[in-house]
Structure 1
Amino acid sequence: MAQPVVKTKSPVEEAVLKQLETVIDPELGVDIVNLGLIYGVDVTDDGNCTLTMTLTTMGCPIGNLLADSIRQAVTQVPAVHTCAINLVWEPAWDLSNMSRYAKVALELHE
């Protein structure tokens, strides 16, 4: 499975995705975008953002901590006022979702 392609429609959604690169998974030490956890970004004209994402495992113990960090980062984008997280388990995350950068950072060799 290739890394998910996050489809964005606007410069604001691109800014949200860029801002999400500042959110580091505390267990892995790599940002959630390069880990391939973000499946979609949708920002309405009135500044409500919905992220579709997954976690590395269903029982991920840092889910709530990560959600707080995500909301804080996303609402730093000037045009975004709220951030809802749509947590999904399909498609399931696996190592192939990660970018080359993440694989190199975690010393995973293909």
Structure 2
Amino acid sequence: MSDTKEIDTQELGEKVVRVLKTIYDPEIPVDIYELGLIYDVFVNEDYETKILMTLTTPNCPVAETLPVEVEEKVKTIDMVKDCEVEITFDPPWSQDLMSEEAKLELGLL
């Protein structure tokens, strides 16, 4: 039975990442996952998720709305019972956290 749970939580984690890739920073035409704003996604056996993320700057104009959007979109996944978003600035975001794809999109490569 525990094997099924493990697969389910991993599968759910992948679904969460797919949803995160549909959320964009309004100032940059790249999704928040590829931008490197998502530091970690935790899914427990009760299908509660916790997302540890950052913002490009502490005074980011979407500081109030982006975490709420992340939480609401993740909660739309059928299996997710609850979602908590925690914002951290440690380590601070930098362009080094961006995926190759995001850097290419923004002409940084």
Q: Normalising TM by the smaller chain, what interval?
A: 0.7 to 0.9
Cα deviation 1:47-74 (Å, max 9, x = unaligned): 2211011111111121122112211221
Gapped regions of structure 2 (runs ≥ 5): 1-8
Q: CA RMSD in A?
A: 1.3
Whether the aligned pair in 2 keeps the contact of 1:22 and 1:73 (CA below 8 Å) is no
Equivalent residue number for residue 103 of structure 1: 103
Q: Percent identity?
A: 37
Equivalent residue number for residue 76 of structure 2: 76
Whether the aligned pair in 2 keeps the contact of 1:36 and 1:98 (CA below 8 Å) is yes
Q: How does 1:1-110 map to 2 (within 5 A)?
A: 10-109=10-109
Give 3-state SS (helix, strand or coil) of 1:72's partner: helix
Gapped regions of structure 1 (runs ≥ 5): 1-8
Looking at structure 2, the residues matched to 63 and 81 of structure 1 have their Cα atoms a distance apart, in angstroms, of: 24
Q: TM-score, normalised by structure 1?
A: 0.84
Looking at structure 2, the residues matched to 64 and 90 of structure 1 have their Cα atoms a distance apart, in angstroms, of: 18
Q: TM-score, normalised by structure 2?
A: 0.85
The structure whose residues are more often helix, as a share, is: 2
**Alpha-carbon offset, residue 22 of structure 1:** 0.3
Structure 1 stretches (4+) deviating beyond 3 angstroms?
none
**Alpha-carbon offset, residue 98 of structure 1:** 0.4
Looking at structure 2, the residues matched to 20 and 106 of structure 1 have their Cα atoms a distance apart, in angstroms, of: 19
Structure 2 letter corresponding to 1:33: Y
Aligned length: 101
Looking at structure 2, the residues matched to 42 and 69 of structure 1 have their Cα atoms a distance apart, in angstroms, of: 18
Higher relative contact order (CA 8 A, sep 6+): 1
